[in-house]
Amino acid sequence: MTTVRRQTRETTVCIELTANEGTIAIATTIPFLDHMLLTVARYARVGLRVDARGDLPHHVSEDVAIALGAAVAASRLATAARFGERTVAMDDALVQCVLDAGGRSYYRGPLPSVRYDHWMRSFAEHARATLHVRVLRGRDRHHVVEAAFKALGFALRDAMADAGSPLGTKGAVSLEVTP
């Protein structure tokens, strides 16, 4: 299990991430964000506990993305498959998510919601992952955003799976920082 606590003047966030299916308990004070986090956890097949409070929905959402991204980065195996891709249809929406969990952050969207586009960017940066989200179709913002979170969950499941050995031409990558 990986635990991340993030405390600022604006927010308090605690996340517990387990690599296998387990308990999912989400409480962020933002019902739609709770729904999206439950969705990504269910499709990624991980256990996830999130407790988050704060002054503004924007701050809570962003800090949850930062903390969850950090939890994903910390729990990534050196032998992770690294790559995941999924396209999800949900009613009028069709959204593709392509993920490289190889340690370099990059995000390309956008989603038709400033809050959730920013969420994906913050998550990718702190997960140290390359994340491309393509909205292929969709007019209902709820359906588009939910399809993106479902696709992210599936892509995370594939990318974080143990491949048995390091993938890529570099082999295992090590980075040591000493202050």
Residues facing 12 on adjacent strands:
7, 53
Residue pLDDT, tens place only, 97-145: 999 999 999 999 999 999 999 999 999 999 999 999 999 999 999 999 9
Strands 2-7 and 11-18: antiparallel
In this prediction, residue 91 carries a pLDDT of 97
Is the model's pLDDT at 170 over the cut of 90?
no
Is residue 168 in a domain? no
Is residue 153 in a domain? yes
DSSP SS3 for 38: helix
Total length of the chain? 179
Is residue 98 in a domain? yes
Residue pLDDT, tens place only, 28-79: 999 999 999 999 999 999 999 999 999 999 999 999 999 999 999 999 998 8
- Token representation of residue 15: 């996340």
DSSP SS3 for 121: helix
pTM (global) more than 0.75: yes
Is residue 79 in a domain? yes
Q: What is the number of domains present in the chain? A: 1
Is residue 170 in a domain? no
Sequence-distant (≥ 6) Cβ neighbours of residue 145 within 8 angstroms: 36, 111, 112, 113, 116
How many whole angstroms separate alpha carbon 118 and alpha carbon 3?
Answer: 23
Residue with more model confidence, 20 or 42? 42
Q: What is the DSSP letter of 9?
A: S
Q: Is the CB of residue 50 less than 8 Å from the CB of residue 66? A: no
Is residue 177 in a domain? no
Is residue 36 in a domain? yes
Is residue 83 in a domain? yes
In this prediction, residue 45 carries a pLDDT of 97
Residue pLDDT, tens place only, 155-164: 999 999 988 8
CATH number at residue 21: 3.30.230.40
How many whole angstroms separate alpha carbon 172 and alpha carbon 103?
Answer: 11
Structural domain harbouring 28: 2-160
